[in-house]
Amino acid sequence: MAGKFEVFVDAEAQYRFRLTTPDGTELAVSAPYRDKSAAVAAIEAVRECAGMGLISDLCPAGNSVPTSAAATPAPVPAACEPRRTPVDGFRKHAAVRRPAAVPHLSGVA
């Protein structure tokens, strides 16, 4: 089951949306929008771009975390879909059976 987008009105009477996992864990909250149609348009833009989004590492070089940012890490939410394990570098799928080719008669001599 996939996550879901929820459109809501915040404390300042602005429209926002949030992305949640199937178990209700909040993954992201949007910026405020003046009307619901703008929030829905932003959801459509996120849907279009998120699957192809690249990850940019903006962290400082090295493996150390600055002491001011050292805190308990947030729990990682469970995956929305079960993970598929590739076999021999390829995913195995059931063979697709196609009907035998049947000659098409057009009626033209």
For residue 33, the domain's CATH number is 3.30.160.160
Q: Is residue 65 situated within a structural domain? A: no
Q: Is residue 31 situated within a structural domain? A: yes
**Token pair belonging to 7:** 């459109």
Number of domains the chain contains? 1
Q: Is residue 72 situated within a structural domain? A: no
User: Among residues 25, 5, 35, which one has the least CA distance to residue 17?
Assistant: 5
pLDDT in tens, 50-85: 877 888 889 888 766 666 555 565 555 554 544 454
**Token pair belonging to 80:** 């929305």
Q: Is residue 94 situated within a structural domain? A: no
Q: Is residue 19 situated within a structural domain? A: yes
Q: Which domain holds residue 17?
A: 4-54
Q: Give the chain's end-to-end CA distance (angstroms, integer).
A: 54
pLDDT for 107 equals: 66
pTM: 0.54
